Amino acid sequence: MSKLTFARAINAGLRKSLENDPKVVLMGEDIGALGGVFRVTDGLQKDFGKHRVIDSPLAESGIIGTAVGLAYRGYRPVCEIQFDGFIYPAFDQIVSQVAKMHYRTQGRVKMPITIRVPFGGGIGSPEHHSESPEAYFTHTSGLRVVAVSNPQDAYTMIQQAIASDDPVLYFEPKRRYHDKGDVDESLDLSTALPLDRAAVVNTGTDVTLVSYGPLVKTAKDAAMAAADEGISVEVIDLRSLAPVDYPVVEASVRKTGRLVITHEAGQSGGLGAEIAASITERCFHYLESAPVRITGFDVPYPYSKLEMHHLPDLDRILDGVDRALGRPNSLSGLEG
């Protein structure tokens, strides 16, 4: 067991994948000598060579499109998109090619491509550097989408993503890159929690609080604060955003009867909407109140002096928990 930052944990996972499988290649802007702008790939080019850790031209569609060709040739490319907001030029290659090639060829061509995306806000960046574009990709069949919330998962899930024969979008919460945690580097991937499973990270009985990525920590903090008020909050870390592990969420909601979902992305058409609808379909008779969403606003990601208003924090989440419980809250007295 070692104490690693989030970024080092991903780095260790990448290193292990590079060691274990000669078909794994890393591609991205500035990932070589610089080690990536967040240093996630630090030292890898030095140890594995320029042919395994490839500094690419500044062209996101090119990074993903050439990865498609490499996958055709039997490679397992791991692409880094430098920031969430830079993924859009590659959108066509991701949704039209990476996602559909297996279906298009009825399984003849596999696309074991991992796309790493530092995502989310909270680090005071200018625009295009703090976005949460996950819902675009969870809406696209053929892609697996995961978001990691702690160094241990970061370490194991990057290896599972690379080992997956399906393409995986791997979202890294950039404001947590420097958080430290215990990482068991000897953990056998076959015994680790599968890539598409959710985890109950705090057990509780009154409210189910669902989150993923950067907000899992905030959600756990909120659960601790709620406990001080005598409210027992069960926190679920989704880990997989596509597919969502509904049986785990369902079991929790059947126990608590109440559901709060929190994410940084805007509300409309977001993952919270999908989860609220699906859980309502599956657990309607168990719900004591309507599902509550605590999310970013439906605005472009704001300039950094305002981002603390946009991002759900502990107090907004607790306010949502109060709404789910029918306790006095900021919307008390408001109809609809």
Residue numbers of the site for other proteins (CB under 8 A)?
25, 51, 56-57, 59, 61-62, 64-75, 77, 89, 92-93, 96-97, 100-110, 141-142, 144, 164-166, 196, 242-247
CA dihedral 320, 325, 327, 333 (to 10 degrees): 70
Shortest Å distance, C-beta 90 to other proteins: 10
Shortest Å distance, C-beta 169 to other proteins: 14
Give the dihedral sign, CA 170/129/9/208. negative
Shortest Å distance, C-beta 120 to other proteins: 24
Nearest CA among 137, 129, 166, 116 for reference residue 271: 137
In this complex, which beta carbon is closest to other proteins, that of residue 89 or of residue 302? 89
Q: What is the DSSP string of 236-274?
A: EE--EEES--HHHHHHHHHHHS-EEEEEEEESTTSHHHH
Q: CA–CA separation, 95 vs 142, rounded Å?
A: 8
Tokens linked to 45: 């080019």
Q: How many other CB atoms sit within 10 Å of the CB of residue 326? A: 11
Q: CA–CA separation, 293 vs 273, rounded Å?
A: 8
In this complex, which beta carbon is closest to other proteins, that of residue 71 or of residue 311? 71
Shortest Å distance, C-beta 209 to other proteins: 22
In this complex, which beta carbon is closest to other proteins, that of residue 76 or of residue 175? 76
Residues whose CB falls within 8 Å of the CB of residue 49, separated by 6 or more in sequence, listed in order: none
Shortest Å distance, C-beta 133 to other proteins: 19
Which class for 274: exposed (0-12), middle (13-18), buried (19 or more C-beta within 10 A)? middle
CB 172 within 8 A of CB 118: yes
Q: CA–CA separation, 252 vs 75, rounded Å?
A: 40
Shortest Å distance, C-beta 109 to other proteins: 6
In this complex, which beta carbon is closest to other proteins, that of residue 66 or of residue 125? 66
Q: CA–CA separation, 48 vs 216, rounded Å?
A: 34
Nearest CA among 197, 329, 326, 210 for reference residue 279: 210
User: Which residues are catalytically annotated?
Assistant: 129
